[in-house]
Amino acid sequence: MPKAYVIARVTVTDPEKYAEYVKDASAAIRQYGGRPLVRGGAYAELEGGARPRNVVIEFESLDQAKAYYHSPEYQAAIRKREGAATAEIVAVEGVE
């Protein structure tokens, strides 16, 4: 079974409030077996629009990535992100 990746593209508008989201989201990532591969850092806009914060989290499977996203723990974190950032988040299956 191929691994899966949660990819988030984020524009933070309230850094203090977003920091609370990150704390809770990080705990949920650990709880559901995720491994952050990219979390912020330098980026280069190559084509189309870019967002200043990019995150890639590896999971053992697409089912595990979806379980993380839909978990009560992560859904609580999302509520803390409201008003602090605009995000686009997808889960994609990797190649075998």
pTM of the model: 0.93
- Asked if 81 and 13 count as a contact pair (C-beta separation under 8 A), the reply is no
Round to the nearest angstrom and report the end-to-end CA distance of the chain: 7
Give the mean model confidence (pLDDT) for residues 19-29. 97
Segments making up each domain of the chain, as ranges? 4-93
- Name every residue whose Cβ is closer than 8 Å to that of residue 63 and which is 6 or more positions away in sequence: none
Percent of the chain topping pLDDT 70: 100
Give the mean model confidence (pLDDT) for residues 47-73. 97
Fold type of domain 4-93: Alpha-Beta Plaits (3.30.70)
